[in-house]
Amino acid sequence: MMYPSQGVAGVDMPVDAGTAVVSAEQITRDFKTGFGSVQVLRGIDLAIMPGEFVALQGRSGSGKSTLLNILVGLDDPTQGSVAILGQSLAGLNETQRAALRRERVGLLFQNAHLIPTLTAQENVEIALRLLGTASKERSARAQEVLERVGLKEKVDHRGLELSGGEQQRVALARALVHRPRFIIADEPTGNLDSLTGRNVITLFQEIVNQTGVGLLVATHDQRIASAAQRIIRIQDGLLV
Ligand SMILES: Nc1ncnc2c1ncn2[C@@H]1O[C@H](COP(=O)(O)OP(=O)(O)OP(=O)(O)O)[C@@H](O)[C@H]1O
Ligand SMILES: [Mg+2]
C-alpha cells in the first residue's frame, strides 16, 4: 500500500516524520453526575509519532474510551489541548473536525458498524465516497484493501452475510482505505475469536510498518499489548 504525500481530498498536508500524529497536553475530563462531578482524566500528556503502534491499557472504567474520543475530537476535554498532525482541535468547528477525521483519521471500534444491506465493497467505498473519490479509483482501492485483510472472495457479500470476524475485517478495511495518518481502535479484537484476533493484530503491525501510520489501540487483549511497540497505562486518571 503506497503512502501518499498529499491528502486524498487534495488538502495539502505534507508528511512530516517529526510531527506527532496526535499530541495531548494536560487533558482533563470531568463528567457531571447526579452527585456532583467526577474527574475521569486528571492531566494526560501524550504524543504518538508516525510509525508508532501504541497499546492503551487500563481496567474497565479507567477512561480509555473517554481519552480516545477526545483525541479524535468526538468529545472535548474539560481542560487541556489536543492536536492531530500539528493541527489544534480547539480552533476547529464540528464540520472542520469531521473533515479532518474523514481525511486523516481511521476509526475502529469493538463492533464493526457495517451497513448490513450493503456489500463489503460498498461499505469500504463509503469512506472514499465522502471524499469525492472517482468511482473507478474507489472500486480499485476498496478491492485492494479488502484483499489485504483477506476478504478477496467476500467483496460482494452483504454485511449481514458475513461472520463477526469478517465484518470486523471489513471495518478495518474501511478504516484504512483513505490512507489515514492516525488510527485509533477501541477494543478492536473484543468480539473476535483468538485466531481472527491474531490476524487483525498481524495486520496492524504490517500496516504500521509499511505505511508509517500512527496507531493507538485501547485493549484488554494481552496479545495486542505484546505486539505494540509501546504500552501506556491509565490509572486514576493519569498515564502511568
Ligand atoms: N457521558 C458520560 N457521563 C458520565 N460518566 C461517563 C460518561 N462517559 C464515561 N463516563 C464514566 O467515565 C469512566 C470511564 O469510562 P470509559 O468508557 O472511558 O472507560 P474505559 O476505560 O473505556 O472502560 P472499558 O474498558 O470498560 O471500555 C466510567 O466511570 C464512566 O462511567
Ligand atoms: Mg472503553
pLDDT surpassing 70 at residue 7? no
CA distances from 130 to 79, 102, 106 (A): 32, 7, 13
Please check the confidence at residue 11 and state whether its pLDDT lies above 80.
Answer: no
Dist. CA 39–CA 147, nearest whole Å: 44
| Residue whose grid cell is 497499546 | 55
Ligand that lies nearest to the alpha carbon of residue 66, given by its number in the listed order: 1
Q: State the residue for C-alpha cell 517529526.
A: 18
Q: 219 C-alpha to center of ligand 2: Å? A: 8
Whether the pLDDT of residue 16 is over 90: the answer is no
Q: Say how many Å lie between the CA of residue 216 and the centre of ligand 1.
A: 18
238 CA distance to ligand 1 centroid (A)?
Answer: 14
Residues 205-219: pLDDT tens digits?
999 999 999 999 999
Would you place residue 9 in the very low, low, confident or very high pLDDT band (cuts 50, 70, 90)? very low
pLDDT of residue 196: 81
Q: Which residues pair with 23 in a beta bridge?
A: 47, 83
pLDDT at position 13 is: 53
Going by alpha carbons, the residue nearest to atom 30 of ligand 1 is 61
pLDDT at 158: 96
pLDDT of residue 4: 41
**In the chain, % of residues over pLDDT 70:** 94
pLDDT in tens, 45-102: 999 999 999 999 999 999 999 999 999 999 999 999 999 999 999 989 999 999 999 9
pLDDT per residue over 102-130, tens digit each? Answer: 999 999 998 999 999 999 999 999 999 99
Query: Given its phi and psi angles, is residue 51 left (phi above 0), alpha (psi -120 to 50 degrees) or beta?
Result: left
Cut 0.85: pTM above it = yes
| Whole-angstrom distance, CA of residue 158 vs CA of residue 167 | 10
Q: Output the CA 107–ligand 2 centroid distance in Å.
A: 14
| pLDDT tens digits, 184-207 | 999 998 888 888 888 889 989 999
Measured from the alpha carbon of residue 233, the closest ligand is 1
CA of 66 to the centre of ligand 1 (A): 6
Closest residue (by CA) to atom 9 of ligand 1?
Answer: 66
Domains and CATH numbers, the chain: 22-237 (3.40.50.300)
Nearest-atom index, ligand 1, CA of 33? 4
Question: What 3-state DSSP class applies to 226?
Answer: helix
Which ligand is closest in space to the CA of residue 58?
Answer: 1
Pocket around ligand 1: residues whose beta carbon is below 6 Å from it? 31, 40, 58, 60-66
Would you state the pLDDT for residue 190? Answer: 85
Q: Is the pLDDT of residue 2 over 60?
A: no
Q: pLDDT per residue over 141-178, tens digit each?
A: 999 999 999 999 999 999 999 998 899 999 999 999 99
- Tell me which residue of 176, 172, 166, 165 sits closest to 212, measured CA to CA: 176
Q: Could you say which ligand is closest to the alpha carbon of residue 56?
A: 1
**Using CA of residue 154, residue 155, residue 161, residue 164, what is the dihedral sign?**
positive
**Measured between alpha carbons, how far is 55 from 205 in angstroms, rounded to an integer?**
12
What three-state secondary structure class fits 60?
coil
Phi, psi (5° rounding) for residue 199?
-60, -40
Atom of ligand 1 nearest to the CA of 29: 12
Q: Which atom of ligand 1 is nearest to the CA of 58?
A: 21
How far is ligand 2, taken at its centre, from the CA of residue 97, in Å? 22
